[in-house]
Amino acid sequence: MYEVSGNTRKSRNTYLAAFVAFFVVAMFIAGYFVGGSYSSSATTSEFSLLDQQLDTLQEESDNEVTLTTTYYYYNTTSLGALYQSVEDSVVVITGVVQQYSFFGLQVATVQGSGFVYSYNGDMVVITNNHVVDSAMNITVTFSNGNGYPASVIGADAYADLAILDVQAPADEFQPLKITSSSDLQVGDPVIAIGSPFGLGGTMTTGIVSQLGRTIQESTAGSYPIANIIQTSVPINPGNSGGPLLNYRGEVIGITTAIIEDSNGLGFAIPSSTILREIDLLISTGSYDQHSWLGVAGVDMKYSIASALGEDVTYGWLLTQVTRGGAADTAGLQGGTRQMKIYDEWVTTGGDIIIAVDGTRIIDGDCLMSYLEEHTSPGQIITLTVIRDHEPLNISVTLGQRPPAT
């Protein structure tokens, strides 16, 4: 019987452990290569799919598909397409005027813009009155360069409007549609097309930056032109009389004035004024339905209210009432004394107009714009005024504004 020593048993255990370890490692390596082959197979399959997709894209590119870029506003309007649809409707207007100077009688050239409109089938050109006022040898030039003689058939200095008859063939006229400006809101996008500095067919864009402004124009004398649209559209001398359009290509105004050295402060006559006046302008040659209150005043503000001890910081303070005018006949009161408030002299003591027919009047712009848009001569309105620190309602029968001089 053999006796097994302890060293021999340890050796056998060592061999057994080594064998087991070898077996485990071998299985792991085999598994790695098997798994690696599957993964490699899957990757090869994916690359094959990608290759097929690339081949498809290459075939499509071989079809020579041309891509074009179109600029849209509010995702609905192509500005380029809109311009092309209206450019032939906008014209350049030129004429000559006689002016007296130190050197005697001089002749100067005037230039502006206008647009074609169909009035009951008759083609006319609409522009600003100040473009053609006192002008001779008026010429209208279309976008194709063709020019023709024109004459004024109606004008209104108080709205800065003029209507021209152009001696041109029928196929030259491409009329625009006029839509009411009554629904315009601050922030609405607008387009101006005209001839700034004689550069015909120039298009600029912007927004309505305010409504109900008043401006002064020399041809209107001392009377304001009211209910004006203020815009941020860049306009320059020569734009006057050109159309202000919405993004459907419809006329909502006529560009008419700028503030010199300003940055984006332009003004336009609203289309509601055109639509209200055009019948009389064409049929009679003038428009005489501007209502007249017969007053002068200044805008109320906090400093004036404080100096007068008034609680109302808005409205229009009457400084003068024209004798025999509508306001004078109704008993409105003008200013009676001069008061220096900070660095300006103000005529005080008159009524403060704060409402017309229940509509709040913030300042003179509000008052003049309301009268222009909502009233006519002979109409009776109710003015709410502050007199002696108390509100008072006064009925006024509006007069007719005297002719411009």
Q: Helices in 233-354 by DSSP H: which ranges?
A: 271-284, 302-308, 326-330
Q: Please give the structure tokens belonging to residue 321.
A: 């009432």
* Selected catalytic residue, list 89, 113, 156, 160: 160
Separation between Cα atoms, residue 339 and residue 330, nearest integer Å: 26
Q: What is 34-103 written as a DSSP string? A: HHHHHHHHHHHHHHHHHHHHHHHHHHHHTT-PPP----EETTTEEHHHHHHHHGGGEEEEEEEEEEEETT
| Residue length of the chain | 405
Pick the closest to residue 159 from 287, 300, 63, 45 (CA basis): 287
Map residue 186 onto helix, strand or coil.
coil
60: left (phi over 0), alpha (psi -120 to 50) or beta: alpha
Active site residue 290: no
Q: Please give the structure tokens belonging to residue 128.
A: 């600003």
Is 363 within 8 Å of 314 (Cβ atoms)? yes
Active site residue 160: yes
* Selected catalytic residue, list 113, 240, 272, 369: 240
CA 308 to chain centre: 39
Active site residue 357: no
Is 320 within 8 Å of 295 (Cβ atoms)? yes
Count how many Cα atoms sit within 13 Å of the Cα of residue 365 in the half-sphere of its side chain.
12
The amino acid occupying position 39 is: S
CB atoms within 10 A of CB 8: 11
Buried b or exposed e, range 14-41, using 16+ CB within 10 angstroms: eeeeeeeeeeeeeeeeeeeeeeeeeeee
- Give the residue numbers annotated as catalytic, written as ranges: 130, 160, 240
